[in-house]
Every structure is written in structure tokens, then in C-alpha cells.
Structure 1
Amino acid sequence: MKVTQRKPLVLPYLRGVGQIMLQNNAWTGALFLAGIFYDSIVMGIAAVVAVITGTLTAKLLRYNENDIEAGLYGFSATLVGVALTFYFNPVPLVWVAVVLGSAVATWLQHQFIRRGWPGFTFPFILATWILLYLFHHVYMPGAAASVASTMPVNDDFTTATNGFGEVIFQGSVIAGIIFFIAVFISSPIAALYGVCASLLGAFISLEFAEPAMDIHMGLFSFNAVLCAITFAGNKPRDGIWVLFSVVLSVLLDVGMLQQHMAVLTFPFVAACWITLGMQYLAQKMGIKIKD
């Protein structure tokens, strides 16, 4: 008699959190949650509520089970939950928005997945932009109001780690280090590319004379970190695409922040779409980049 080993029920949820930085790894997701809870219990709870909502929504709508198990319906939802409790105080209306926003982000994610389109975190961006607009006239400052006052003294090390932390709206050095370790245990090369991208993002934004505190907080680095992780690989040509996408994302980041826009991870998504388009055109034109 063949005995089938049941997988822990928590795996899709942890992988859903890990997929925020494109890692299909439950330990990565667990460490991300640990970093979030370290900085803010409220945001940690919101992350848990959101990833459960997103994953259960996918199950109820009977989306592909393999995609659910891989956490593909959890990461945008998780980001919605953390973002809303970052921008707003956790009043009952915000918790309702966390649940509804997570479900909407999951549905949007499915529209990309079923068409084979690389949506990345765009479902999170769209859902959060809509909710930020709706809440604009009843703004209740949340964690965003106090992040700057908790930032440590500037140095290159913390500038690099803050780029990781800000991907999930976390401002402490400890959270940034935890997030780096979380990516490293899943993909060392992606983590190291991410560090380089974080520092490059800081350098480029410094050339545009952006505020030193904003640079140190990682506001010009976290989108670059995501781009680096996306295109990281063992071949030299991977480094070329990482560099292209990182520089592009930082330029978009600078432009959007100068217009006082809610940037979120849009520079990352836009830079990745353009980079994928460039890769496609290069392939069609027969342009080969040496390995």
C-alpha cells in the first residue's frame, strides 16, 4: 500500500510571501514575515491576513493548483495588506480594504497568469493605487509618518540593506538584513546582485541631488533590487540585462518621486516590461549577446 506524504498546508501561504522577491521558497517567505513583524506587528498581521485572503480567493475560484502551491496568488495580495497599513492607521475600514484589496489583486494576478503575461507586482500596484485614491479624503497617517525618524546613521552597508527592506515597506536595518538573508538562502546570486543594485540606485539618485535621507532609506533602491533579482543569472549577459533594468528603474523612480507620485513598485514593473521587450527584439533581430 502506497502512502502519500501530505504537504504542510502552510506552504502555499509562505511561498506566496516569498514570491514578493520572486522566490518560490517557504523559508524565504517565513523570514520575510519575521522581518515585517520585527518592524511592525500591525503590518505583520496585515501581511498574514492578506496572503491568506489572496490564496483562499484563488482556491475558491479554482485557479490552477500548481500556481497556488507556488505562491503566485499570494505576493501581490501580501503587498496590498502591508501597503495599506503602512499608509493608514489600522481602523476597521482599512482592514476591510485589506481583505477586499487582496482579493482584487488576486483576481488581477489571474488575468495575467492565464494569458501568459508577466504581470509581476502590477496587480498590487493597481489595487493599491485605487484604494489610495479612494481613501485620499479620509487620510489617516500610518507607519509612513514615522519611518524617517527611525532611520539610523548613513553608511554604505545600511544603504544596501535598506533597499531590500523597502521592497516590503520596512525601514529598519534588521528587517533589511533579514530580507537579504531570506533571498540569499533561496538564490545567493540574486541576493548579491540585489546588493549591487541597491548601491547603484543610491549612487544614481545622488547624481540627481535627491535628498540624502530618502536615498539612505532605500526609496531609490528597492525597485532596483527587484529588477536585479528578476534578471539575475550566472552568465555575463544576465549582468547586462540587470544593469539595463536597474538603471531604467531608478530613472523612473526619480521621475515619479519628483512628481510626488505613489511610486510603489511601478518602476520595477515598467523596467522589467521594457527589458523583456528589448530581449524579445534582440532575439528577433538575431542579435546575440555572448555568455
Structure 2
Amino acid sequence: MSSQKKAYAFGLGAVLAWSTVASAFKLSLQHLSPMQLVLYASIASLLSLLAILAWQGRLPELPAALRRHWKSSLLFGAVNPFAYYLVLFQAYALLPAQEAQAINYTWALTMTLLAVPLLRQKLHPLDAAAALICYLGVLVIGTRGQLLELHFSSRQGVLLALTSTLLWAGYWIFNTRDRREPVLGLTLNFAFSLPLSLVWCAWHGQLVIPSWQGLAGAAYVGALEMGFTFVLWLSAMKLTRSTASIANLIFLSPLLSLLLIHLIIGEAILTSTLLGLALILGGLAVQKLPLRRALPRPVAEGSN
């Protein structure tokens, strides 16, 4: 198999895995609180990442990476997985899965907007247009099409879902300055986030052994969404001759996810969700228009 075919295989595998996580989040939250899901999924993810490093014969590299990067690992781990997934899971607990997952796809646009103040990049007209289109989609989803009334299905849930995009986008912006090898870095993130999750659960009186259904859901979420799938996607990006062709595969994920949410969770997919998701994906597509290439490219200070 050629490198490009392997890249497509890894990329599609990652997209298929990510398509299942909204349903997995919702099912797991029937047996676990958001903070418990963060804790047990983080344990599963750390174990899966350690297994990947062991398979690659790279476990001996961890101690040196720990000594050298413990400060940045603590900081990154506090954001992802601890804060990001705590906020995201709380949003899923308050919103229907179809709404939470659709809003979460605005993170790519959020990253573009955050790059303006954080990396001193310029906001191009296409980016501004994309922002308007995407966040109109969020309003359509959050209000279930009742835009004039501005009556949200869960105002707190929508705010938490949008906050999760800020955390995720901010994490990846600062990750451009991260000198750690990606898999080692992610492993250290989870290792340093575990004490935070343990203390958080203990403080709220939720440090208990959950049902087997909760543990199974957390294991699936942790090993697949947080751990193994990241390595699949990273491998696809390294093997491909065209980053754009692999990156565009991600547009398949929300559509597949909606189908699984309907089949597995039993949610009736609302017309407002489909319309809002179409606006969000359309806004993200606007960012990729060829016209953008004619504009001056922004300079990101300190980025790789």
C-alpha cells in the first residue's frame, strides 16, 4: 500500500472513530457524572498511550521527557484533558448530543479568531464572513430555529459548548510552540492531569467505583477519542502528500455522528440541527475558498 493510501486509511479510521464519540459521551453520562467521566476516561487514555509507546519501543524516552518538560506538561494537562473535557462533558450532560457535537465543530473557526490577539495574525474578510455564518449556525441550533425569540434549549449548555471550543482552540494555538514530541507530550499531559481529576472528584464527593457500564463507556471514550485516534490522525498527516486532502475528511464526521446519534441514542434529528450544522460547515468551507490564497498570509510570531 502506498503512503498516500495509508494516509487515507488512517485518516478515515480516525474520522470513523470520532463519529462515534458523541453517542459514547451521551451513553457514558447516563452512568457517570462529567467529572467522573473525565477521571476514568483519562486513565484509559493514559494506559492506551503508554501501550502505544511500548509497542513503538519508546517507553524509555518518557523519564527524560518528564524531567525536561514537566512544567509545560502540567500546564498543557490542566487545559487538555482536564479543563477541556470537564467543560465539554458538562455541555453534553445539558444538551442533546446532536446540538453539543454540532457546536463543538466551530473550534476550528474559534482557533482562527483567537490567533488574532494571541499570535498577532490579521483577520481576513473571509474569516469574518466565516465567523458570522458559523455562529449564525450556533444560534439556529441553540434556539432550535426560534431565532427571534432567542429561547435556548439550554443557555448554560450552549455557553459551555462554546467555552470548550475556546479551550480546545487555545490549547492548539499554544501547542504550536510546544517542542515535545506529540505522542510523548500527550502522554505526559494525561499523566499530569490525573491528580487534578482525582482531587476534583474527591472534593465533590464523587470518587467512587462506578457501574461496569460507566467504566466500559469511559474506557471507550478514553482509549478511542482521547488516545488512539489522535495517533491515527497524526500518522495520516505525516504520511500524506496533501495535508488538505486529509484535513477535509473531517467534514464527514459530523454527518456520520448525527446518523449514529439517531440510531444509537434514539434522538430525533431536528431540522434546526441540520440547518445549523450546514451553516457551520459552510462557514468552515468559506475559510478554504481559493480567494483566500490571494490575500497576504499572516505571520505567526513564534509558531513552527
TM over 0.5: no
TM-score, normalized by length of structure 2?
A: 0.30
* Higher-helix-fraction structure: 2
Bigger CA radius of gyration: 2
TM-score, normalized by length of structure 1?
A: 0.31
Higher relative contact order (CA 8 A, sep 6+): 2
